[in-house]
Amino acid sequence: MFGLEIIDTVITLGLKSMVPLLALWFAYKGALVIYTYVMTLFVEAKPNEWLVIMRNGKMVSAGIGAATMISPWDSVAIFPSRLVKVEFNTQQVTIEMQGVEVSTMLEWNIDRNGEGPMKAFKNLGSDLCSSNPRTANLMLGDMCSAILRARISNSTIDEIIKERKQLRDLILKETTEIVKGWGVFLETVEITDVRICSRTLFGHMQTKFRETQKQTAVLHKMQVDNEIEMVQLDHDLEQAKRNANTHKT
């Protein structure tokens, strides 16, 4: 009996001494779980990435290379911040019913103003994360091509070839306001080339240009020859006067 009492006493003392250790262990595990959960609420974007925080379908904040804590009911979108280059060709007939092909290059980026990043994510979605955002590129290319076709169909070939700046300004003016609603900002638009589809017509235009240049050169030569002849006549007349004066003397 005495031995059993000793055993009970030892067990009781052992359990009492383990209580603080168990408490510390549970506290450690609890703290670890809380820390792990809190760290899931920390979001960070790379220096070349957009971080957009949304709550109830509305943008809370957005920034490039941002790092912050979010609430459990927030959602996050991260996508690259880069300048995207798009090249496309537009074919259309002019007033003379002759086909031309206009090559265009534009560069776009995410609109930094207001809710631009949120609009871009809503309209373009996961396509923004790809190395080649096809959705945005196709939308911009189709819209700019439509603007160019309308202008080309009401212009002459000569106007299209010579007025590239007007075409560029037209695209910028009519496109900029529209793409703001997409969360897109046009950095630049350039008309890189204008080509006449008909080789025969292009050859005729080249022939006309060469003939005009040849005619201009011939006229210029005639003018120069005439000026030289007039100078020679003045010189001969002056020489004749001198000879006459000498003869009288």
Confidence of residue 201 (pLDDT cuts 50, 70, 90): very low
Taking residues 185-190, report their average pLDDT: 90
**What pLDDT was estimated at residue 12?**
56
Distances (CA, A) of 127 to 64, 106, 115, 122, 185: 18, 18, 18, 11, 16
> Can you state the percent helix, strand and coil of the chain, rounding each to 5?
60, 25, 15
Confidence of residue 108 (pLDDT cuts 50, 70, 90): very high
Residues 138-181: tens digit of each pLDDT: 888 888 899 988 898 888 888 888 888 888 888 888 888 888 88
Which of 61, 87, 57 has its CA nearest to residue 73? Answer: 57
**What pLDDT was estimated at residue 156?**
85
Beta carbons within 8 Å of 163's beta carbon, 6+ residues apart: 155
**What pLDDT was estimated at residue 245?**
66
Which of 167, 184, 170 has its CA nearest to residue 107? Answer: 184
Residues 83-99: tens digit of each pLDDT: 899 998 988 888 877 78
Q: Average pLDDT of the chain?
A: 78
Cβ–Cβ under 8 Å, residues 72 and 43: no
**What pLDDT was estimated at residue 26?**
65
The angle at the Cα of 98, spanning 159 to 211, to the nearest 5 degrees, equals 65
Most confident of 129-133, 142-146, 216-220, 239-243: 142-146
**What pLDDT was estimated at residue 70?**
83
Residues 17-66: tens digit of each pLDDT: 555 666 666 676 677 777 676 667 788 888 888 889 888 888 888 888 88
